[in-house]
Structure 1
Amino acid sequence: MPSSHASSTHLVLIPSYNPGVKVEETVRGAREQWNPVWVVVDGSTDGSAERLTQMAEADAGLRVIVLPENRGKGAAILAGLEEAARLGFTHALTMDSDGQHPAALIPRFMESSRAAPDAMILGRPRFDASAPQLRVQGRRISNGWANLETLWMGIGDSLYGFRVYPIAPLAAVMRSQPFMRRFDFDPEAVVRLCWRGVRPINLDAPVRYFTAEEGGVSHFQYGRDNLLLTWMHLRLLAGFVLRLPLLVCRRLMGLASR
């Protein structure tokens, strides 16, 4: 049964690009836990836009925004954030459309956000045997760089996209520069929000990787996306050096207040 009580502050935001057969299941799972749920279709060509639009016609708690061309995950999220802010929403929980993220934990993450509205609630992934070991090991490198770039402010995982963001600071960060529009969105978002003083709170969450036979779809390309992450961390390291005195001061003040 879809959730009927609509929040006026927190929404679920699902960017979606050619997600395969899991998308309807993902959206139904999110709707069972929360209202409203928005899906931003990022120029999909697999017919999912039409199927999701049909679902939304029968469900007042579901909204589908269709972008005319593929712009990337971050760009799709920004389109949703701007519309959400226009309507008065203050926080957005982002999750992938391919079924990897745990819809059952949406209420817990939203409650944590309500208790600490100035913070970002970050999923810390718990992998099972379905996780490709190359990706599990590779993300440790990105996590190490992200923690260095923030002086270990407490980012549990830089790449896991199941999160609740305060909309205003995230949208401001994204509007201020042209990056964070594709696969680089998740790690750059948490680093730049930490630089703005947005505190991370980490909650454990499982992640499931589906095989192709199970309907799993992955758009990750090792060469292209690792190059994108490398370029991103080079940019962030430059920004880190410029901000280092401020970050050190903030860390010392935080330690002194404990």
Structure 2
Amino acid sequence: MTTPSRSHLVLIPSFNTGPILTETVRAARGAWDPVWVVVDGSTDGSDDAVAAMAAADPGLRLLRLPRNAGKGAALLQGMEAAMSAGFTHALAMDADGQHPSGEIVGMMAASAAAPRALVLGLPVFGPEAPALRVRGRRVSNFWANLETLWAGIGDSLFGFRVYPLAPLAAEMRRTRWMRRYDFDAEAAVRLAWRGLPLINRPVPVRYLAREEGGVSHFRYGRDNLLLTGMHLRLMAGFLLRLPMLAARRLTRPRPAAATLR
């Protein structure tokens, strides 16, 4: 096990993830200490095994929400608790096995070297990745980069990221949005508006088949409608901030974003 960090932790939100949750948590704990799991109103009993693990592992903590509130809401609950415990940064990691635990240390090191930065995982897709999902995210990526005047958001929907907690929590407290599927893209845009440096770090993505325990709560129509409404809201905010964003680009010429390999 690694030496416990006093500043950075791993946050894993989970809703009805099934047995893959235990595998994800075990892999994350093998790479980092501490790891916190936020169970977002699950009804499948998948958190019971994690509760048993946490009872015997001081580096693992389980938080339970009484009802499903969405990924962003679960992460906000975890972030508030983490800040109360003295943590300053959190790596958000999906519970479904897509995000590679082997990249946790590298992501955390990038954050420690640039504490103000938002460290964004840049997905490297394998051949098993659904083509519709891979192509569809390009639309959100275009709008997110337009809304920030190409500040350097490599991928707006990939949730494997290290967030500075204070600025993200402040943004979330100001709005009732960013609670469900809209969280990842809006968080990146709003933190870019705040002027946080953006670091993109390529990481492999694994899409598990159903027989491998893969679980997806993505609903093409519902979630794309949510993203459309989100980008309409963000475009309004972009227009209000356009003079500031343009001035920032002119007065601080630099590459769109740092990319680490």
Superposed CA deviations along residues 144-163 of structure 1, whole A, max 9, x for unmatched, are 00000000000000000000
Q: Residue 221 of structure 1: which of 219, 222, 227 is its match?
A: 219
Q: What letter is aligned with 1:252? A: L
Indicate the residue corresponding to 1:33 in structure 2: 31
| Compared CA separation, residues 203 and 256, structure 1 to 2 (3 A) | closer
Moved over 6 A (4+): none
Indicate the residue corresponding to 2:19 in structure 1: 21
Indicate the residue corresponding to 2:93 in structure 1: 95
**Aligned partners of 2:7 and 2:88 also within 8 Å:** yes
> So what's the TM-score if we normalise by structure 1?
0.97
Once residues 255 and 203 of structure 2 are traced to their aligned partners in structure 1, the CA distance between those partners, rounded to angstroms, is: 30
Indicate the residue corresponding to 2:242 in structure 1: 244
Indicate the residue corresponding to 2:158 in structure 1: 160
What's the offset of the Cα at 1:8?
0.5
Could you tell me which runs of 5 or more consecutive residues in structure 2 were left unpaired when the two chains were aligned.
257-261
Once residues 257 and 100 of structure 1 are traced to their aligned partners in structure 2, the CA distance between those partners, rounded to angstroms, is: 29
**Aligned partners of 1:4 and 1:61 also within 8 Å:** no
Q: What letter is aligned with 2:125? A: F
What's the offset of the Cα at 1:136?
0.2
RMSD between superposed Cα atoms in Å: 1.2
1:203-214 correspondence to structure 2 within 5 Å: 203-214=201-212
Once residues 20 and 183 of structure 2 are traced to their aligned partners in structure 1, the CA distance between those partners, rounded to angstroms, is: 22
> So what's the TM-score if we normalise by structure 2?
0.96
Q: Residue 54 of structure 1: which of 32, 49, 52 is its match?
A: 52
**Aligned partners of 2:10 and 2:91 also within 8 Å:** yes
Superposed CA deviations along residues 95-141 of structure 1, whole A, max 9, x for unmatched, are 10010000001000000000000001000000001100000000000
Once residues 167 and 231 of structure 1 are traced to their aligned partners in structure 2, the CA distance between those partners, rounded to angstroms, is: 25
Q: Residue 187 of structure 1: which of 185, 188, 198 is its match?
A: 185
Indicate the residue corresponding to 1:79 in structure 2: 77
Could you tell me which runs of 5 or more consecutive residues in structure 1 were left unpaired when the two chains were aligned.
none
Q: Residue 140 of structure 1: which of 135, 138, 141 is its match?
A: 138
- 1:201 is paired with a residue whose SS is strand
| Compared CA separation, residues 249 and 46, structure 1 to 2 (3 A) | same
| Compared CA separation, residues 257 and 192, structure 1 to 2 (3 A) | closer
| Compared CA separation, residues 49 and 257, structure 1 to 2 (3 A) | closer
- 1:66 is paired with a residue whose SS is strand
Q: What letter is aligned with 1:118? A: R
Matched length:
256
**Aligned partners of 2:192 and 2:198 also within 8 Å:** yes
Once residues 213 and 38 of structure 1 are traced to their aligned partners in structure 2, the CA distance between those partners, rounded to angstroms, is: 27
Superposed CA deviations along residues 153-203 of structure 1, whole A, max 9, x for unmatched, are 000000000000000000000001100000000000000000011111000
| Compared CA separation, residues 186 and 85, structure 1 to 2 (3 A) | same
